[in-house]
C-alpha cells in the first residue's frame, strides 16, 4: 500500500492519510472483501458468488440455499461456501445474514491467518466494535445473534472465545459495507472490507467509495495534498447538520466536528424560504410549508410502496403547488418531491413533466452537493435520460455530459454505469448534431425510436437510490 499510511487522527482514533499528492479520480486503493453475503431477502435472486441479479439461478444441490448464475460462479464461490454449506445442512435452517457473514469471516481467518493479503492494513482484532456504546434494544438482538451463531458454528471448526465472536459481530454491526449489484443501483448484500474501515467520516469528504467488479475502490474527489487525512461521507449530505450529527451518533457512535457541521454550512438552504425580489417569507410561513411538505412526503411514500403512482402524482403535485412559492429551490423536502415526481412521471410516460422536475432536482442538488458527488452524477444521468425521452436533446445531452464528467471521477471509466453513460453521450451527441441540421427529421426519428422501444430506461419507480445512500449496512 504505497499511497496511504495509518495515523492517529486527532479526536477520531486511527485514520488513513495519503503519502502522495492525489488528483480527482485517482484510485487510492482497491480492496476485495474479507467476506460478503447476500441479504436474507434476496438469497434466491442474487448470485452468491458474483452478486449479480439473475432471473434464473442454479441452486447448490447440497444445502439448497446458495444460488449461482452457473457452474463457473459456483466453482468460484466454493472456497467461501464449502464450510457454510456443511454447516447449513447440519444446522437444518438458514442463519441470518449477520451470522452468515461472521461465520464466513471466521472460517477465512482460521484458514489464512489474520492478514489474508499483503494489501491488508489492519486485522479484524484491531478494528473497533463499539459494543460498549450499544443501546439496550440493539444489545438484545446482538445477544440473540451470538446465541444462534454458537448453535450454527460446527463442532469440527476451530472454536473461538465469546469475546472474539462478539467482537466480530460488533465490527460488522457498524462497519458492514453495503454491497450493491453490478450497476450499483440496488443494495444486495453486506461485506467486510478491513482497509475501508480505517477511512474516517467527513460530511464534506475528499474521497468516495464505489464497488466496481467485485472490489471497492477508494477514489479521490479532487486534489489532495500529501499527508492529508482521507475521508468519506457515512451519511448523505442532503440532511441538515443537526440531523447528520444525530445519525452519526446513533449509528456510528461519534460526534461529528467537521467544518460543515461546526459552521452549519448550507443549513439555511436546506430548509429555507424562497426569496422573491429581495422579500423572504416569514419564518412561520416557511415552517408551516415545511411541516406540510413533511406530512405529504410520508403520505406519498405509502402510496409509492403500494404502487399507486397516480396517487403519488396527485399528492406531490398538490403539495408542490402549495409550497413551491414559499420554499427555497434547495429545500430538501421539495427536492425529494421533484425527484420522486420525475421518476414516477417518466414511468407513466409523461416525459415533459418528468424532465421539468428532474431539471429542478439537479439544479437544487448542484447548489448543495460537492461538485463531484456521486448522487449528483446519478441524478444528472436520470435527468439526461428524461430530457432525451422528452425530445429536449440539447439539455439532455448537457445533462448526460455533466453526469459523465462526475462519474469518471466517482466511478471511473471501467464501471458499468460509466460505460452506459459513455454510450448515451455518443448517442445524444449524434442526435444533437442531427437536430441542428434538420429539426423535422430529428423529431420524426425520435418518434419512431420511442415507438420501437417505449419502455427502455423506464424502470418501475423504487426507493433504490435511497437504499444505496447508506454506505454501511445498518439493521432496520
Residue of 16, 28, 36, 60 interacting with Zn ion (CB under 5 A): 60
- 3-state SS class at 473: coil
- Region from 81-89, 160-168, 190-198, 207-215 binding Zn ion, contact rule CB under 5 A: 81-89
Q: Does 50 bind Zn ion (CB under 5 A)?
A: yes
CA angle 372, 376, 377 (to 5 degrees): 75
Number of residues that bind Zn ion (CB under 5 A): 14
Of 184 and 194, CB closest to Zn ion: 184
DSSP 241-260: HHHHHHHHHHHH------HH
How many Å apart are CA 154 and CA 147, to the nearest integer?
13
Least gap, CB of 325 to Zn ion (angstroms)? 32
Residue of 19, 41, 62, 263 interacting with Zn ion (CB under 5 A): 62
How many Å apart are CA 327 and CA 199, to the nearest integer?
36
Residue of 22, 24, 73, 378 interacting with Zn ion (CB under 5 A): 73
Residue of 16, 37, 66, 165 interacting with Zn ion (CB under 5 A): 66
Listed residue (244, 209, 186, 179) closest to 463, CA to CA = 186
Contact (Cβ atoms closer than 8 angstroms) between residue 181 and residue 53: yes
Q: List 207's β-bridge partners, or say none.
A: 220
Least gap, CB of 244 to Zn ion (angstroms)? 6
Least gap, CB of 247 to Zn ion (angstroms)? 10
Of 35 and 261, CB closest to Zn ion: 261
Of 202 and 356, CB closest to Zn ion: 202
Listed residue (259, 128, 119, 102) closest to 190, CA to CA = 102
Least gap, CB of 202 to Zn ion (angstroms)? 7
Q: Does 456 bind Zn ion (CB under 5 A)?
A: no
Least gap, CB of 337 to Zn ion (angstroms)? 26
Of 39 and 292, CB closest to Zn ion: 39
Biggest CA–CA distance in the chain, Å, is 76
- Region from 4-12, 47-55, 316-324, 344-352 binding Zn ion, contact rule CB under 5 A: 47-55
Helix (H) or strand (E) holding 373: none
Looking at the chain, the number of H-run helices and the number of E-run strands are: 16, 12
Rg (CA), the chain: 24
| Helix ranges (DSSP H) in 92-231 | 97-112, 136-152, 162-175
- Region from 34-42, 108-116, 261-269, 454-462 binding Zn ion, contact rule CB under 5 A: 261-269
| Cell of residue 178, nine digits | 453495503
Q: What is the chain's percent helix, strand, coil content, to nearest 5?
A: 50, 15, 35
Window 2-41: contact mask with Zn ion (x via CB under 5 A): ----------------------------------------
Q: Does 69 bind Zn ion (CB under 5 A)?
A: yes
- Region from 95-103, 149-157, 196-204, 446-454 binding Zn ion, contact rule CB under 5 A: 196-204
Residue of 28, 85, 174, 424 interacting with Zn ion (CB under 5 A): 85
Residues 322-381 that bind Zn ion (CB under 5 A): none
Q: What is the bridge-based pairing of β-strands 200-201 and 231-232?
A: parallel
How many Å apart are CA 95 and CA 101, to the nearest integer?
10
- Region from 53-61, 183-191, 396-404, 436-444 binding Zn ion, contact rule CB under 5 A: 53-61
Least gap, CB of 76 to Zn ion (angstroms)? 8
Of 73 and 341, CB closest to Zn ion: 73
Contact (Cβ atoms closer than 8 angstroms) between residue 105 and residue 177: no
- Region from 202-210, 221-229, 419-427, 449-457 binding Zn ion, contact rule CB under 5 A: 202-210
- 3-state SS class at 108: helix
Of 87 and 315, CB closest to Zn ion: 87
| Cell of residue 238, nine digits | 442532503
- 3-state SS class at 211: strand
Helix (H) or strand (E) holding 219: strand 215-220
Of 65 and 365, CB closest to Zn ion: 65
Of 249 and 310, CB closest to Zn ion: 249
Residue of 47, 297, 380, 421 interacting with Zn ion (CB under 5 A): 47
Residue of 24, 211, 261, 335 interacting with Zn ion (CB under 5 A): 261
- Region from 2-10, 257-265, 325-333, 407-415 binding Zn ion, contact rule CB under 5 A: 257-265
Crossing angle between the packed helical segments 416-437 and 393-410, to the nearest 10 degrees: 160
CA atoms lying within 13 Å on the CB side of residue 258: 24
Least gap, CB of 469 to Zn ion (angstroms)? 16
Of 57 and 408, CB closest to Zn ion: 57
How many Å apart are CA 204 and CA 265, to the nearest integer?
10
Least gap, CB of 85 to Zn ion (angstroms)? 3
Residue of 256, 319, 385, 400 interacting with Zn ion (CB under 5 A): 256
Contact (Cβ atoms closer than 8 angstroms) between residue 397 and residue 432: yes
Q: Which parts of this chain interact with Zn ion (CB under 5 A)?
A: 47, 49-50, 60, 62-63, 66, 69, 73, 85, 203, 256, 258, 261
Amino acid at each position: 500500500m504505497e499511497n496511504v499510511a495509518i495515523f492517529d487522527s486527532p479526536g477520531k482514533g486511527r485514520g488513513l492519510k495519503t503519502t502522495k499528492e492525489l488528483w480527482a479520480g485517482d484510485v487510492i486503493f482497491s480492496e476485495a472483501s474479507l467476506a460478503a453475503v447476500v441479504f436474507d431477502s434476496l438469497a434466491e435472486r442474487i448470485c452468491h458468488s458474483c452478486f449479480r441479479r439473475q432471473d434464473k439461478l442454479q441452486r447448490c444441490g447440497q444445502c439448497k440455499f446458495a444460488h449461482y448464475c452457473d457452474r463457473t460462479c459456483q466453482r468460484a464461490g466454493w472456497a467461501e461456501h464449502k464450510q457454510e454449506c456443511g454447516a447449513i445442512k447440519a444446522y437444518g435452517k438458514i442463519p441470518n445474514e449477520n451470522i452468515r457473514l461472521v461465520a464466513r469471516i471466521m472460517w477465512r481467518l482460521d484458514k489464512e491467518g489474520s492478514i489474508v493479503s499483503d494489501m491488508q492494513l489492519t486485522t479484524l482484532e484491531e478494528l473497533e466494535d463499539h459494543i460498549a456504546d450499544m443501546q439496550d434494544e440493539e444489545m438484545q438482538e446482538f445477544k440473540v445473534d451470538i446465541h444462534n451463531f454458537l448453535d450454527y458454528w460446527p463442532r469440527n471448526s476451530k472454536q473461538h472465545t465469546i469475546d472474539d465472536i462478539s467482537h466480530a459481530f460488533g465490527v460488522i454491526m457498524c462497519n458492514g459495507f453495503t454491497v450493491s449489484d453490478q450497476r450499483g443501483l440496488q443494495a444486495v448484500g453486506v461485506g467486510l472490507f478491513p482497509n475501508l474501515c480505517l477511512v474516517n467520516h467527513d460530511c464534506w469528504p475528499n474521497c468516495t467509495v464505489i464497488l466496481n467488479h467485485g472490489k471497492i475502490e477508494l477514489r479521490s474527489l479532487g486534489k489532495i495534498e500529501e499527508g492529508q487525512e482521507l475521508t468519506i461521507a457515512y451519511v448523505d449530505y442532503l440532511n441538515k447538520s443537526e440531523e447528520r450529527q444525530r445519525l452519526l451518533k446513533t449509528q456510528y457512535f461519534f460526534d461529528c466536528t467537521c467544518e460543515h457541521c461546526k459552521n452549519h454550512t448550507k443549513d439555511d438552504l436546506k430548509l429555507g424560504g424562497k426569496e422573491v425580489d429581495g422579500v423572504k417569507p416569514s419564518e412561520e410561513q416557511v415552517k408551516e410549508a415545511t411541516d406540510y411538505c413533511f406530512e405529504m412526503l410520508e403520505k406519498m411514500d405509502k402510496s409509492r410502496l403500494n404502487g399507486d403512482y397516480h396517487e403519488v402524482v396527485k399528492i406531490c403535485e398538490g403539495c408542490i403547488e402549495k409550497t413551491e412559492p414559499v420554499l427555497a429551490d434547495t429545500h430538501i423536502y421539495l427536492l425529494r418531491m421533484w425527484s420522486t415526481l420525475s421518476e414516477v412521471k417518466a414511468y407513466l410516460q409523461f416525459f415533459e413533466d418528468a424532465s421539468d422536475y428532474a431539471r429542478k432536482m439537479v439544479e437544487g442538488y448542484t447548489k448543495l452537493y460537492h461538485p463531484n458527488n456521486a448522487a449528483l452524477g446519478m441524478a444528472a444521468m436520470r435527468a439526461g435520460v428524461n430530457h432525451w425521452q422528452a425530445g429536449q436533446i440539447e439539455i439532455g445531452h448537457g445533462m448526460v455530459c455533466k453526469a459523465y464528467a462526475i462519474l469518471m471521477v466517482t466511478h471511473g471509466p471501467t464501471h458499468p454505469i460509466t460505460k452506459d453513460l459513455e454510450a448515451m453521450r455518443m448517442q445524444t451527441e449524434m442526435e444533437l448534431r442531427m437536430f441542428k441540421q434538420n429539426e423535422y427529421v430529428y423529431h420524426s426519428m425520435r418518434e419512431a425510436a420511442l415507438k420501437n422501444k417505449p419502455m427502455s430506461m423506464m424502470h418501475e419507480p423504487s426507493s433504490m437510490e435511497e437504499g444505496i445512500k447508506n454506505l454501511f449496512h445498518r439493521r432496520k
